[in-house]
């Protein structure tokens, strides 16, 4: 069955060879640098298909060797030598087929090609595209890099992002995923759950539990490095939180050795947002600069606030009580100058020209709090890109 599937793919590729090119991380050795195969005309295609039929078995052997070199050795069929005499289009198609196939499988030489773990990219994104979050930026990079580079892990990495809406929690989660996985949010190793969207009605919690369990197991089975994002974590049903516990509990690293599956859990919530703002406001008023604010200032008040929050089961869940969350990451309230940078990014992101006046004007449209100081944008950088539309000619 698999064999027939592969043949279908081969035929598909012969029909549309250009679609398979340009995926990084999947080039095979021995690919020549001549001009790409031109779109085959109908007569040539017929001829090619006939040849492909005759050669299909041989192709299959080669194809499977391209993907799984280990398997070739214990196959009965001898592998044709390197200088094998297939027409050039055949070799190209084979490479393209392998490239295309690799988009869905972990088969690249040197590991799983769905996983990119580009820490350089992550570091650059966090320092260039994220504004006003010196703590989150440093903590996230250090935690994730440290976890993924550790030779052995005995636990999933669980990070909890806290802060007002618009401060960049979702933005950072996306950045992380975009740099760790080739297909970003669309990767089959990444699952995002939004409480009010995926689990809106508490009366259906049993259905949600089943579905969540299934997705978690399926993802972890398919990927040795998976990421799960829970947005609006403060609204997660207690039974769903309970379901997550076993996934976050430490296990003996000896069971899987270096091959132990890795998982990153991100919990995004606005819990503790107000206490972060109060502390930051107090420190700024006391004369500290924003960058002088450290985790020492925030850690205790933030954790206390989360644990005490009466209107959310997240704070009182076993995840927190059993210390299954590795880090609580504060997202600070954004000031006018940060909002202005977000506005600039939004213009640049849409390839639009901007003036300094436009940046000021849009940044001023946000509401700033508290009443007296008007220091922090109440919506952070949320929906900036919609706002710039009002300023287009
Ligand atoms: C990592 O990301 C940087 C910045 O986005 C990019 O220039 C670089 O090509 C990426 N590296 C890999 C191996 O994809």
Give per-residue pLDDT as tens, 270-295: 999 999 999 999 999 999 999 999 99
**What is the band of 383 on the pLDDT scale with cuts at 50, 70, 90?**
confident
Instruction: Note the pLDDT of residue 60.
Output: 58
pLDDT at 98 over 70: no
pLDDT at 313 over 60: yes
Q: How far is the CA of 102 from the centre of ligand 1 (A)?
A: 19
pLDDT at 99 over 90: no
- Which of 24, 121, 126, 177 for a ligand 1 pocket mutation test, highest count of atoms within 8 Å of Cβ? 121
**79 near 62, Cβ under 8 Å?**
yes
Please classify residue 137 by burial: count the beta carbons closer than 10 Å to its beta carbon, then call 0-12 exposed, 13-18 middle and 19+ buried.
Answer: buried
Residues 6 or more apart in contact with residue 58 via CB below 8 angstroms: 80, 86
**What is the band of 251 on the pLDDT scale with cuts at 50, 70, 90?**
confident
Q: How far is the CA of 180 from the centre of ligand 1 (A)?
A: 11
**What is the band of 112 on the pLDDT scale with cuts at 50, 70, 90?**
confident
Is the C-beta atom of 21 inside 6 A of ligand 1? no
Q: Which of 108, 146, 115, 113 is nearest to 225 (CA)?
A: 115
Q: How far is the CA of 118 from the centre of ligand 1 (A)?
A: 6
Q: Which residue has the higher pLDDT, 54 or 156?
A: 156
Residue 93 CA to its chain's centroid (Å) = 31
**346 near 388, Cβ under 8 Å?**
yes
Instruction: Note the pLDDT of residue 390.
Output: 76
pLDDT at 257 over 70: no
pLDDT at 170 over 80: yes
Tens-place pLDDT, residues 5-51: 544 444 444 433 333 333 333 333 333 333 334 344 445 555 555 55
Q: Which of 375, 135, 363, 365 is nearest to 278 (CA)?
A: 375
Order of strands, edge to edge, in the sheet holding 262-269?
Answer: 190-194, 225-231, 262-269, 157-162, 327-330
Instruction: Note the pLDDT of residue 22.
Output: 34
Give the highest mean pLDDT range of 1-10, 99-108, 117-126: 117-126
Instruction: Note the pLDDT of residue 13.
Output: 45
Give the highest mean pLDDT range of 63-77, 98-112, 287-301, 377-391: 287-301
Instruction: Note the pLDDT of residue 46.
Output: 52
Is the C-beta atom of 116 inside 6 A of ligand 1? yes
Mean pLDDT of the chain: 80
pLDDT at 367 over 70: yes
Between 90-99, 117-126, 298-307, 361-370, the lowest mean confidence (pLDDT) is in 90-99
pLDDT at 106 over 50: yes
Percent of the chain with pLDDT over 90: 56
Q: Please give the radius of gyration of the chain, using alpha carbons only, rounded to the nearest integer.
A: 26
Instruction: Note the pLDDT of residue 2.
Output: 45
CB atoms within 10 A of CB 197: 10
Instruction: Note the pLDDT of residue 132.
Output: 96
Is the C-beta atom of 316 inside 6 A of ligand 1? no
pLDDT at 359 over 90: yes
Instruction: Note the pLDDT of residue 143.
Output: 97
114-250+260-330: CATH superfamily: P-loop containing nucleotide triphosphate hydrolases (3.40.50.300)
In this structure, the residue with its CA closest to atom 12 of ligand 1 is: 118
Average pLDDT over residues 176-203: 95
Is the C-beta atom of 121 inside 6 A of ligand 1? yes
Ordered by start, the domain boundaries in the chain are: 1-16+41-75+86-107, 114-250+260-330, 336-391
Residue 331 CA to its chain's centroid (Å) = 19
The pTM is what?
0.74
Between 57-71, 252-266, 373-387, the lowest mean confidence (pLDDT) is in 57-71
Average pLDDT over residues 54-78: 53
Report the sign of the C-alpha dihedral through residues 292, 295, 142, 379, in that order: negative
Is the C-beta atom of 117 inside 6 A of ligand 1? no
Average pLDDT over residues 304-324: 87
pLDDT at 89 over 70: no
In this structure, the residue with its CA closest to atom 2 of ligand 1 is: 121
In this structure, the residue with its CA closest to atom 6 of ligand 1 is: 121
Percent of the chain with pLDDT over 70: 70
Q: How far is CA 198 from each of CA 204, 207, 311, rounded to the nearest angstrom?
A: 11, 11, 20
Instruction: Note the pLDDT of residue 315.
Output: 87
Kindly give the number of the ligand 1 atom that is closest to the alpha carbon of 124: 4
Give the highest mean pLDDT range of 165-179, 240-254, 258-272: 165-179
Average pLDDT over residues 209-221: 95
In this structure, the residue with its CA closest to atom 4 of ligand 1 is: 121
Tokens of 248: 């976050």
In this structure, the residue with its CA closest to atom 3 of ligand 1 is: 121
**337 near 260, Cβ under 8 Å?**
no
């Amino acid at each position: 069955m698999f064999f027939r599937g592969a043949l279908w793919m081969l035929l598909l590729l012969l029909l549309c060879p250009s679609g398979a090119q340009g995926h990084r991380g999947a080039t095979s050795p021995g690919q020549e640098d001549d001009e790409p195969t031109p779109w085959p005309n109908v007569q040539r295609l017929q001829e090619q298909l006939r040849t492909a039929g005759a050669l299909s078995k041989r192709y299959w052997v080669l194809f499977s060797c391209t993907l799984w070199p280990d398997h070739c050795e214990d196959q009965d069929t001898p592998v044709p030598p390197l200088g094998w005499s297939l027409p050039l289009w055949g070799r190209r198609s084979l490479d393209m087929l392998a490239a295309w196939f690799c988009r869905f499988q972990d088969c690249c030489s040197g590991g799983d090609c769905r996983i990119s773990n580009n820490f350089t990219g992550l570091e650059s994104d966090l320092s260039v595209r994220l504004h006003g979050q010196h703590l989150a930026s440093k903590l996230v990079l250090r935690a994730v890099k440290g976890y993924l580079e550790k030779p052995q892990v005995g636990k999933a990495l669980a990070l909890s992002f806290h802060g007002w809406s618009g401060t960049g929690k979702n933005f950072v989660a996306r950045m992380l995923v975009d740099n760790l996985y080739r297909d970003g949010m669309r990767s089959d190793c990444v699952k995002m759950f939004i409480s009010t969207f995926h689990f809106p009605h508490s009366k259906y919690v049993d259905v949600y539990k089943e579905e969540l369990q299934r997705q978690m197991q399926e993802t972890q089975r398919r990927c040795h490095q998976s990421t799960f994002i829970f947005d609006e974590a403060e609204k997660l049903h207690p039974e769903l939180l309970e379901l997550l516990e076993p996934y976050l509990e430490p296990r003996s690293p000896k069971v899987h050795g270096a091959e132990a599956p890795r998982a990153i859990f991100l919990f995004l919530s606005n819990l503790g947002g107000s206490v972060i703002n109060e502390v930051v406001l107090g420190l700024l008023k006391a004369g500290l600069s924003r960058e002088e604010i450290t985790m020492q200032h925030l850690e205790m008040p933030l954790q206390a606030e989360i644990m005490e929050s009466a209107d959310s089961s997240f704070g009182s869940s076993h995840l927190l009580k059993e210390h299954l969350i590795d880090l609580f990451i504060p997202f600070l309230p954004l000031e006018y100058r940060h909002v202005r940078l977000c506005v600039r990014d939004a213009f640049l992101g849409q390839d639009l020209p901007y003036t300094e006046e436009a940046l000021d004007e849009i940044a001023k449209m946000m509401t700033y709090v508290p009443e007296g100081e008007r220091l922090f944008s109440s919506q952070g950088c949320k929906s900036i890109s919609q706002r710039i539309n009002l300023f287009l000619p």
